[in-house]
Structure 1
């Protein structure tokens, strides 16, 4: 069985024993800073490995409990799989306990263990009272069924039981995606003398290898993973769920900040406008108004922005979900489904949280239509999202699909494979994809254009491919139109002759109303042999316009009933065949101009254009003053 990797968080009110409990579990003191030692409080995030059972690799994040360090707390719990909510037996539920609880719910943390700490300080009666108080506080929350353990970090009481609870809960947690594109939101940046810039964070998805070329977003610095450590141990590879430190080359410490995101692909977008599904806390101290400044915590970033409603101008109190938009002052890196916390900058308080519907929000009008649109986006399946972006962009490759849908790479590839198999997607060259209903629209448009064309130009073989591309260039890409033409030809809907395309059932023909007159012209042309008049002379006393005359000539040439020997003269096919047969019978392997003139008995005015026509048709080839039969005389 392969190893699994998890991160658990220690959360709760200040001085409830989170750091002491972490040390009791891991034997590591996570308070590293001098100020933390002097004040006996956690200021920055602390980390420690927890080794309980073979094959299960656990990192503990000890988050600050003081309200002044709520930013660090949010950054710390953003990537956890399980929270240990620490509540002191001698104090019970406190303000930061409640706020941490709200934040954990908004971030979608589903697995929790309640650790009642400092149990050696209270008697059984007090412990029972505190237990009931905590259960009441958890009623109605996602953690109402969370298991309880009673511990004391100093004496070690209950630590073994907590270890077992952690293992049993983690076995219920779905491990993080090690197959997606690598993403690590940075929560710490520092330098080590002689080593350079080091970043630390929890890997959200994917894997990173020593030597990997990476990108640091949102500023898009190109960097390399020079060295990787997991809890101070060198590793060649780190994967989703692990607390990891990466020594980066290619960037200075001053250019890296908490909230930056380290990625391995160009699938990730940076954005300043996100569409969100937002829920508010139960008791807002002050109403949230339209375009009010807010502070959003997403991943490990903390960015100011404004909230934009589309169906209201303020929220006083609501227990429902609000679909809205956050317009940010700075760029962030988010994907669909990422959780966030929303705080008011003044008065400082957590006002809500939710998840990202769409990383690149658009400009929308106020009203129900926008809410319906966001609701559809929110409820969309991967299939819906891919069909939606392909309906807008017609053709996209995998990278573009990942960017526009904000889905994981393996989800996009799996969905595309299913779509191709089920027939609602199609593939163009170089793994570019479209939705079948778009192909059907292009197909119908091509067929419609051809029907109109055949109606207007019944004597032409068809329309040139270049003309079709030009006709549809304002609606569809050249690649899509070319693909559609090829498919229609393969399926027998269209025919292609040289550069001309026509409907499969179409054949060029003389217009019914002029057919008899045109046959008379053809008969006259045929009778004149090689000594033809100008084309316009054959059409004297006919109702044909100059355009009609040109179309008629093109028809005869394209259908090979006639051949053009001069710009203004045609000869009938029968004249060509008769002259060619006579010339072959009465000449040798080569012949000159005089032999041809004597054989055909026509003036140079007609003879020279005729012989040049034979050259064009590759029947003969000219060599100085003679011509040679290309395929012999047979």
Structure 2
């Protein structure tokens, strides 16, 4: 299926033309038919000569219903622009074209209708010239009469040619269906309608409206029940959920869109508008019309504060309109979303710096990462980006320059922490996370590369294990003394003379540079396993005296060392005087 919006000023001509093409009445309201004035969105459909099905969204032409017109054309990328031969190009024709041009609609047909009432040539020439300036210069022009049927066969053939060249939508894209009508059906409940531009909806699917889950109970497309529908399609969805939907809300795939009320945008003025934007405007996207406050950041960039949250992607286009008041409403500008979750502007000069960033911004993940520095993959996808290669850790992505800078800052933070806390065995991981203002401790771990390493939940640098040079030197001197008799632990006075007082010993033990056997008894790391190997060679069982001799140590050391070996499972007491050595240990 393909969906085309019918735009232009001449309401009765458009409705008559759609009626003649489809055999359906697009004007649902009695007042519309009585006055010949389209007030609400109309819908009709037909099959083309090729067999392709096409649906029309007939939008109001009168200036008072410009908001409704935008709700109809917003989700539709193709237009059938209708001009009356007896009226020609009208101010409302201009307003519609400005809106379409600002929305970036570049595909369509020009149809000059009511050819039975006036010579169509002048209207065709004028309209073609204006559409060419509005970006629709390739639109084929046709002359028809909805009343007499003149030119309808040629129009159907032209519609076939138009839709055959349309790009195929992505059936796997996330769903965003802007609701343009809501009603209730007895026995079924709430039904919403809208144009599905891409993606797929199926019976039983769970979607969201404003963060609230809703489930699709049933689907109709062109009044026919279906199990699923893929874009582009006109669909009616029977929903079940607690939220009461309304026009201007969107049904979306959960987690696939960024729900936001603050966006940074690039402004492009609508044709004919060259003044500064008012500070309060109406922003249109899809079928939504939302009051917004405008904060200019630079010449062509601004920050919009929307009156409510809407689901957006990077690159989405909002149309900014003066809501009117004593004047007729005017389309003033288009606003291309450059960042759907922009950073705060709190420091002096932040707005100017942000304007410079946005001026160079591209519609991709690297551009967003240059601003946000770190983002999860799910955040990038919800912002409408493809993931930029492998993550730096888990599902975290980083701006390369920022990631490199973090590595340098971490090394400096570890060095500075060592200077400020000389007896601590390195910098705690959590302290490093706070220092670098990182949202996840795993990111700290991912930044650790030689000569940095982690020991016991702390980051240390170099072979000293993070010990100050004086403590590391004292440990080396102790190791040299223990090289001859590794189990003869020195007494406290000698340790102090070596430079290993209580605080220095504690730091060395925490860093794994020394093994604390008991209070006042320290040996080199691994000494307990080596002692067990010596004791395993003794006749079993053995006494404390036998162990003392075998280990070439004193009773002061042998007793607590054997108790340590018992706790580690290297040895086991068999009575008050004897032990046996066990294989292994804990």
Q: TM-score range by the shorter chain?
A: 0.7 to 0.9
Does the alignment pair 1:296 with 2:283?
Answer: yes
Aligned residue number for residue 318 of structure 1 = none
Match of 2:405 in 1: 441
Query: What's the counterpart of residue 621 of structure 1?
Result: 572
Are positions 1:77 and 2:73 aligned together?
yes
Task: Describe the SS at the equivalent of 2:134.
Answer: coil
The aligned residue for residue 330 of structure 1 is: 308
Q: Note the 1:379-528 alignment, pairs <5 A.
A: 380-388=362-370, 391=373, 394-397=374-377, 399-403=378-382, 406-407=383-384, 411-412=385-386, 415-416=387-388, 419-420=389-390, 426-429=391-394, 431-448=395-412, 467-475=428-436, 476=438, 477-485=440-448, 488=449
Structure 1: gaps (5+ residues): 313-321, 421-425
Q: Quick one: distance in 2 between partners of 1:577 and 1:46?
A: 86
Indicate conservation of the 8 Å contact 1:82/1:170, yes or no. Answer: no
Tell me if structure 1 keeps the 8 A contact 2:114–2:145.
yes
Rounded to whole Å, the distance in 2 between the matches of 1:103 and 1:520 is 83
Q: d(CA) in 1 for partners of 2:531 and 2:99?
A: 95
* Contact residue 106 and residue 340 of structure 1 kept, 8 A: no
Residue pair 1:59, 1:243 contacting (<8 A) in 2 also: yes
Q: What are the Cα deviations for residues 64-120 of structure 1, in whole angstroms up to 9, with x where unaligned?
A: 122222221111111223211111111111121111111111111111211010111
State the secondary structure of the residue aligned to 1:229: strand
Question: 2:244 matched to 1:244?
Answer: no
Distance in 1 (alpha carbons) for counterparts of 2:123 and 2:117: 12
Whether the 8 Å CA contact 1:296–1:304 is kept in 2: the answer is: yes
Q: Does 2:505 correspond to 1:550?
A: yes
Post-superposition CA distance 1:429-471 (Å, at most 9, x none): 3x4433444443344344455667889999x9x956x724433
Q: Does 1:228 align with 2:179?
A: no
Write the deviation string for residues 541-560 of structure 1: whole angstroms up to 9, x where unpaired: x7x474785379659x9456
Choose 11-20 or 575-584, whichever is displaced more.
575-584
1:275 to 259, 264, 267: 264
Give the C-alpha shift of residue 59 in structure 1: 1.3
8 Å contact from structure 2 (residues 488, 552) kept in 1 = no
1:359 maps to 2:340: yes
Q: Give the secondary structure class of the aligned counterpart of 1:74.
A: helix
Looking at structure 2, the residues matched to 575 and 340 of structure 1 have their Cα atoms a distance apart, in angstroms, of 72
Match of 2:16 in 1: 20
1:309 and 2:288 are equivalent in the alignment: no
The range that moved more, 498-507 or 255-264, is 498-507
Partner of 1:149: 142
The residue aligned with 1:608 is 559
Task: Give the number of aligned pairs.
Answer: 575
Change beyond 3 A, Cα 1:370–1:553 = closer
For structure 2, list consecutive stretches of 5 or more residues without a partner in the other structure: none
Q: Distance in 1 between matches of 2:197 and 2:125?
A: 36
Flag the 1:241–1:275 CA change in 2: closer, same or farther, 3 A.
same
Query: Is the partner of 1:591 in helix, strand or coil?
Result: coil
SS in 1 for 2:116: helix
Alignment check: 8 A CA contact 1:532 1:569 kept: yes
Pick the aligned partner of 1:132 from 125, 129, 145.
125
2:46 counterpart residue number: 50
Shift of 1:594: 7.2
Superposed, 1:56-71 pairs within 5 Å as 56-71=52-67
d(CA) in 1 for partners of 2:533 and 2:262? 78
Name the Cα RMSD after superposition. 3.9
* SS of residue in 1 equivalent to 2:295: strand
Q: Which residue of 2 aligns with 1:348?
A: 328
Per the alignment, do residues 525 and 510 of structure 1 end up closer, same or farther by CA in structure 2, a change over 3 Å counting? Answer: farther
Aligned to 2:493: 536
Moved more, 57-66 or 301-310: 301-310
TM superposition shift of 1:620? 1.1
CA 1:366–1:50: 2 relative to 1, 3 Å: farther
Question: What secondary structure does 2:281 align onto?
Answer: strand
Equivalence for 1:317: none
Q: 1:628 to 1:73 in 2, by over 3 A?
A: same
Matches within 5 A, 1:371-386: 371-377=355-361, 380-386=362-368
C-alpha deviation, 1:157, in angstroms? 1.0
**Superposition TM-score, scaled by structure 2 size:** 0.85
